[in-house]
Amino acid sequence: MTFSDLESVLARWDGLTGARAILVNLSENHTFRLDLPDGGRFILRVHRPSYHSRAAIESELVWMRALRADTGLFAPRPVAGRDGAWVQESAFSGPEDVRHMVLFAFETGVEPVPGDDLRPVFTQLGGLAAQCHTHVMGWRQPDWFTRQRWAVDTILDPDAIWGDWRAAPGVAGAVRTILDRLDAHLRARLGRYGTGEDRFGLIHADMRLANLLVEGGETRLIDFDDCGFGWFGYDFAAGVSFFEDDPQVPALRAAWCEGYRRHRPLSAEDEDMLGDFVMLRRMALLAWVGSHAEVDLAREMAARFAPVTAELAENHLGGGLFAP
């Protein structure tokens, strides 16, 4: 994807004259860093076509602004365009390629990586998740508020949000047999657990390392683009995305639960479900790997993702990911 007319796109906001656009991430969206001649920076998110409606994007932004206003929690700061709208539209590679865009203030910090000691990060991450969950339980959403649901059908069914896990590379033979068993297990467990308001509501849904910034020992959340309605425990599962088989994950689970309980109760039943949420998230990512072949990360993981998912599934079905 390229800008068809960068100057006209950036003219929708004040203060971007002469900006240089650098692609920093391609996943669901194209994310550009805008470098200004005076050293200033912004982040421009160009949305993938047919993924979120304008109302859904505006819903994301209104929740972020409410979190800041009501709780004092850090959340990305959108920048309104010259017309006062938070969401802008422009053609990119051609007149038919019209996309939504949001401009954000640039935030400093370092993305943590699996090789770091992540326990302090996950203690803070659990606290952030608990505060977000507490907020949404008492927050009255606007009547027009709309976001997707991260639930059994929207993750495991063939027409799931990120595609059909059954169509992902490597899902065949013994791998397929194991994952079919996992699919049935998750449906049964999550069906019994239910979607009561104490455990299911608006969540960030993508608290993975790539969406964290750490500065001065403080962990902050960015990129609420996948926020939606799901199980609160799914926020932990998203945190260990792509390294679920790392030996440190049980310690990160303990750190996350400790941080969570500092702000909100977490029952033994809730904690016991975290392994199921890790596997539900892993199945969502398996579908994502299969449906996002244009993304470097998906291509890099395609060969091994299904077999490792099956190994994790065998472990989980044999007693649970976090069994002693």
Q: What digits encode the pLDDT tens for the residues 167-211?
A: 999 999 999 999 999 999 999 999 999 999 999 999 999 999 999
pLDDT for residue 2:
54
Counting Cβ atoms within 10 Å, is residue 59 exposed (0-12), middle (13-18) or buried (19+)?
buried
Q: Does residue 208 contact residue 104 with C-beta atoms inside 8 Å?
A: no
Q: Where in the chain is the domain with CATH 3.30.200.20?
A: 6-105
Least confident of 18-27, 112-121, 142-151, 268-277: 18-27
Please provide the average confidence, as pLDDT, over all residues in the chain: 94
Query: For 133-139, what is the mean pLDDT?
Result: 97
* pLDDT > 90? residue 282: yes
- Domain at 119-317: CATH architecture: Alpha-Beta Complex (3.90)
Return all residues near 150 (Cβ < 8 A) that are at least 6 apart.
161, 203, 205, 226, 228, 229, 230, 231, 234, 284
Query: For 281-294, what is the mean pLDDT?
Result: 95
What's the pLDDT band for 324 if we cut at 50, 70, 90?
Answer: low
Class of domain 6-105: alpha beta
Q: Where in the chain is the domain with CATH 3.90.1200.10?
A: 119-317
